[in-house]
Amino acid sequence: MALNNPSGRAYTLKTIRLMEMRYVNPSYVLVGITGLALVDRSGRDFTTPWVITSIVVFLVVTAIGGAVYAPLLRRQIMLAEENYPDSAEYRRLDLRGNIIGLAIVALVVFQPALWKYPSVAILSGAKYLVTKMQIIAAQGQILHRSSE
């Protein structure tokens, strides 16, 4: 619905940002603390490969969210508010945001196998991402054609 309604799009993006600021970002802290506490209480060693991998993936996902996705979302909101939601820059940012989201999902979903079978997990994740990117690109082309 927000896709074809520029004012709705700006409102939707602002709502997403508000939800991230109020719920998602504090959850990162809570999940990190809880995860570390669970590993500690379980008596497992923090040098276990899957624990190290989990911590690294968590930190990478958090860094991507803060350093890449947040500024991208701010720029999308700015373009939507300035009535440029159909510009090439907005579509580029939208595609980049979708790719970042898929990359984060792939990191989280395939992370447990990374320490045991890295090549299988990476290839499966890459295939999944390529398929999803093709779907998103096709949807973008369809939406672009319908807006002309």
Q: What is the pLDDT, as a whole number, of residue 127?
A: 57
- Asked whether the predicted pLDDT for residue 144 surpasses 70, the reply is no
pTM over 0.75: no
H-type alpha helices, the chain: 6-19, 25-42, 49-64, 70-81, 88-114, 118-147
Distance CA 124, CA 56 (A): 19
At 12-66, the pLDDT tens digits run 888 888 888 898 888 888 988 998 999 899 888 888 777 787 788 788 878 888 8
- Asked whether the predicted pLDDT for residue 92 surpasses 80, the reply is yes
